[in-house]
Amino acid sequence: MPRTVLEPRFQVEHLSILDSDGNLDSSLDPEIPSAELKRLYRAMLLGRRLDERMIRLQRQGRIGTFAPIKGQEASQVGAAATLRRTDWMVPSFRETAAMLLRGWPIEKLLLLFAGYLEGGQPDESQNDLPITIPVATQLPHAVGLAYAAQYRGDDAVVMAFCGDGATSEGDFHEAVNFAGVWHVPAVFVVQNNQWAISVPLKKQTHSRTIAQKALAYGIPGLQVDGNDVLAVYAACHEAVERARGGDGPTLIECVTYRLGVHTTADDPTKYRTAEEVEAWERKDPLTRFTAYLKKKRLLEEGLEDEVDKEIAAAVQRFEALGAAEPLTMFEHVYAELPAHLKAQREQLAGALGNGATPPAGDDDQASPPMRGQRTTRR
């Protein structure tokens, strides 16, 4: 049966500018100003040091479960740094470094991971959505934001983050499809860290790359070395400018690696080898960028101490805030509280008013947190 070729065979490009030793391919140098390079480095260092401190806090019971970012700092910082304050950032649940760069106070992030709803509320001046725990559900929201900006004639761009595991969800495909159909100003940044909890990439897709999935939806797709902050910055800058200029969305796959646990409730030794982790540690994005800046004589003396002091002060502010009001757990879910939750609220309010401990409920009415206790429920 005769067949007509509708499209020539597609190609997927990969971009890398800094090698694992911090050596620059000068032909691809994005020529980022020195002040911006320092800003990128500080954000990556702050993200790494905060990550380490948060793990200790979690192990000490001072915050709840969270998703560490070690190894993925370049993918986050290099991408988020290309946005304006008037642009929108839509994170998933592992974008701490990007959130810091966007102006989220450290103590607010700690509040979130201690179970306080106030920790997830962006400042009125921030065009950011809060952390999203359910995988990929933030992506249709991001497309809606981009469509709204387009409809109103704003020049805002929406950058949405997700992981490789999110590309196995229907929300991802629906979002990218409609972004292409509506030609909205969106940039999808997929942090391909090789593992969706314990499921490796090869069990999620038969595609050679995630970037090529963009082609099915009629939008550009590019794979970058996600441990190379210069490559991520250059690719995202180009994608953001395309979107702002009315040329539609882009999908960028950042090939990186989660050097630590999926969350602090995870044990990765059960599903991956130490040799694999060691191989990726040699590609550490922070080590690579440090070597590059050292050659350019842009490393700032005393920066690590400065960052550590900033984190320590934020932890003190966080712990000085005291316990949250337990009754707020009943707010912001229903316009009109159902009878059974209204009864539970009244029971808890009475117990708190008397200084008594609320009685344990049935299986479907778990005992709520008491004043002075932090809850890790989200």
What SS3 class is residue 264? coil
Out of 48, 242, 258, 288, the active site residue is 258
What H or E segment, with its residue span, contains residue 222? strand 221-225
Domain with CATH 3.40.50.970 in the chain: 19-319
CATH class of 19-319: alpha beta
State mean pLDDT over 338-350. 95
State mean pLDDT over 120-142. 95
258 catalytic? Reply is yes
Please state, for a pLDDT cut of 90, what percent of the chain lies above it: 85
Q: Is the pTM of this model over 0.85?
A: yes
Q: Is the pLDDT of residue 227 over 90?
A: yes
Q: What angle do CA 207, 210, 214 make, to 5 degrees?
A: 105
State mean pLDDT over 214-223. 97
Q: Which of 7-21, 27-41, 144-158, 241-255 has the lowest mean pLDDT?
A: 7-21
237 catalytic? Reply is no
Out of 85, 151, 271, 377, the active site residue is 271
Mean pLDDT (the chain) is: 92
Residue 357 and residue 149 in contact, taking contact as beta carbons nearer than 8 Å: no
Neighbouring-strand partners of residue 24: 18
Out of 257, 262, 288, 292, the active site residue is 262
